[in-house]
Amino acid sequence: MWEAIFWGAVLRVIQAALQAAPFLFTGLCIAAILHRLLGMEGTRRLFGSNSIRSLFQAWVIGMLLPGCSLGVIPVVKQMRRAGLAVGTIFAFALSSPLFDPLSLLYGLTLSKPETILAFALCSLLVVTVSGALFDRWFPQTETPGEELPPTPPGIKRLLAMLVMMARETVSDSMAYMLCGLLGVGLLSTLLPHGSLMRTMAHDNPYSPLLMTVIAIPAYATPMTAMGQLGSMFQHGNSIGAAFILLALGAGMNCGLLLWMLRHYGLKKTCVWLILMLIVVVGLSYGIERPLYPTDIQPADHTHAFDIYCCPFAEVPFGGYLAEIARRLKLESQVHELAGGGLMAALILGGLALRRLDPHRTVEAWLNQPPSEALQPAWDVNVPAPVLAAAGFVVILAGSIVGCFAYYPPPDETIAELNIARTEALGAALSGDKSHALHWIPICENWTRRLQVGLFLRRGELSDYHRMKARIFHDRLELLEHMLEDGAQQPDIRRQVNATSRAFSRMAHAFLKE
């Protein structure tokens, strides 16, 4: 049992770290832009401070830029350095991880897209109400740091950003990020395998409160949270709990809380947290009935929260380490591995700088102005704020391009789905339960991506396509439960046939109609 708990926590922390890696890298890029290009004055101008308008500005910027609750830590550090008020800093910190273009598209193709829009508006209400009250009660929270000398234009300016990013990965920011990741391990330690499966029912008044307890230490990327929301809508779970999952599960983590505790003290942290919890939990109970979908049959269970529980119910075949390696190999996605690689390179660079250059002579050299004679006449100096704006546009454009790559056109998605379906259904027929249970969630994921891919390219997703995808998804899910329950082979065969037919109909609808 102890082994299962320990190795379960290890697996959950590594999975969360891999999911976070691309967002950590993006967060470091944004922090470097603020630090080296925009400077303190530019950052203050971008976000504003200590006003309702600044809260709204921070919410809009947070919504536009891709990020997660761990990736915002280096960004909020720069915002604090620039002398912004706590309300503004936390308006950005809370809103940035909630949505990004990828997850927003995903959300808008769920059965009730208006629910997602309502969630976005509720999040605006949370950050403006709690931020405005906090800034009113504690008006003097702006503590500007020392403005750095501007780095001369050219390649040195870009190198200075890289150096800043590398140093940040071995600074206190990384310690807070690790604390955030350890929260995931803690949850997995406390929650036995599958223990949240029958929770978060719509008719259980404690669902939002239970979600609050779980969501604060939990860590979810915007896409993970949106996927969980989709599953909650589909299973008829509590809408209030879903909102809390988004607001706190995606928006908050232990590392961010510790950062606030260290920089603003216990009193201010508690006041802000209580204020925010009152608004979030109050809103969650307020939206429970009006936003609850009426056209679904509630199921009394969900697998959406399994990722917060211990992953091991029994000793895996081949041992824990082999199972962890197998799962990581099978489940890790390309963008996670790429993000992990970039973060590893930055950490190595940061460690080398820390060891070889503790007095920051590299930064001093980078800040030296170049000789006038060496600068060619055609080499125009681009002002740093313009470069910063271009940097933000590139990040935003990158996330839009990422949407098209992550949600391919239907023909490509159907081809991928066909492979996954063959694996899942073939394994179900041959009695290879674990193989089938591995591939079924992959099929479900591709089914969602199929719908978003069509929405992205046609600008709409018809009820017809939505229904065809839903039927295939439902068939897959029922097959998954039959396998878990150890159903008889003739029943499995019947369900496999039904699932295959649903796939053919869905493929025909998406490719031909």
Tell me which residues touch another protein (CB under 8 A).
Answer: 2, 5, 187, 189-192, 195-196, 198-201, 203-204, 206-207, 209-210, 213, 236, 295, 297-301, 462-464, 467-468, 470-471, 477-478, 481-482, 484-485, 487, 497, 501-502, 505, 509, 513
- Other CB atoms within 10 Å distance of the CB of residue 508: 12
Nearer to another protein, 8 or 39 (CB): 8
CA separation for the pair 303, 310 (Å, rounded) = 13
* Residue written as token pair 């929650």: 191
User: Closer CB to another protein, residue 57 or residue 207?
Assistant: 207
We find the least distance from the C-beta atom of residue 186 to another protein, in angstroms, to be: 8
Which two three-digit tokens encode residue 147? 């403005």
Q: What angle in degrees, to the nearest 10, is found between the helix axes of 410-430 and 463-484?
A: 20
95 versus 188: smaller Cβ distance to another protein:
188
Q: Between 262 and 458, whose beta carbon lies closer to another protein?
A: 458
Q: Between residues 141 and 234, which has the closer beta carbon with respect to another protein? A: 234
Residues 366 and 159 sit within 8 Å (Cβ to Cβ): yes
CB atoms within 10 A of CB 124: 17
We find the least distance from the C-beta atom of residue 36 to another protein, in angstroms, to be 43
Angle at 338 between CA 304 and CA 155, to 5 degrees: 135
Give 20 or 201: the residue with its C-beta nearer to another protein.
201
- Minimum distance, C-beta of residue 119 to another protein, in the bound complex (Å): 22
Q: Which is nearer to another protein, 259 or 308 (CB)?
A: 308
φ, ψ of residue 201 in degrees (nearest 5): -70, 150
Nearer CB in complex with another protein: 162/487: 487
Q: How far is the CB of 493 from another protein (least distance, A)?
A: 14
Distance in Å, CB of 209 to another protein, minimum: 6
CA distances in angstroms from 209 to 201, 248, 442, listed in the order given: 12, 12, 31
Whichever of 263 and 505 has its CB closer to another protein, that residue is 505
Q: Minimum CB separation from another protein for residue 225, in Å?
A: 20
By C-beta, is 375 or 500 nearer to another protein?
500
Look at the block and give the residue holding tokens 């000398």.
Answer: 149
Residue 488 beta carbon to another protein: minimum distance, rounded to whole angstroms: 12
Q: Which helix (H) or strand (E) holds 175?
A: helix 172-190
Least gap, CB of 201 to another protein (angstroms): 3
In whole angstroms, the minimum distance from the beta carbon of 423 to another protein comes to: 21
Phi, psi dihedrals of residue 237, rounded to the nearest 5°: -75, 175
Task: Answer left, alpha or beta for residue 283, where phi above 0 means left and psi between -120 and 50 means alpha.
Answer: alpha
* Closest separation in Å from C-beta 431 to another protein: 17
Closest CA to 9 of 250, 308, 212, 213: 308
- Judge contact between 185 and 10, C-beta under 8 A: yes
CB of 450 to another protein, least distance (A): 15
Q: Which is nearer to another protein, 211 or 384 (CB)?
A: 211
Nearest distance from C-beta of residue 203 to another protein, angstroms: 5
Measure the CA–CA gap between 285 and 337, rounded to whole angstroms: 39
Torsion of CA 12, 173, 346, 60, to 10 degrees: 90
| Contacts of the segment 188-192: beta carbons below 8 A, 24+ positions apart | 188/5, 188/8, 188/9, 188/11, 188/12, 188/308, 188/309, 188/310, 188/311, 189/5, 189/8, 189/9, 189/310, 191/308, 191/309, 191/310, 192/309, 192/310
Question: Cα separation of 219 and 184, whole Å?
Answer: 6
> Please, which residue, 192 or 349, has the CB nearer to another protein?
192
Rounded to a whole number of angstroms, the minimum distance from the CB of residue 485 to another protein is 5
Identify the bridge partners of residue 201 per DSSP, sorted by sequence position. Answer: 237
Residue with smaller CB distance to another protein, 89 or 182: 182
Joined together, the tokens standing for residue 252 give 């908050």
Count Cα atoms within 13 angstroms, Cβ side, for 441.
14
Q: How far is CA 437 from the centre of its chain?
A: 24
Distance (Å, rounded) from C-alpha 403 to C-alpha 394? 14
The residues, ordered by sequence, that sit 6+ positions from 111 with a Cβ below 8 Å of its Cβ are: 233, 234, 293, 295, 296, 466, 470
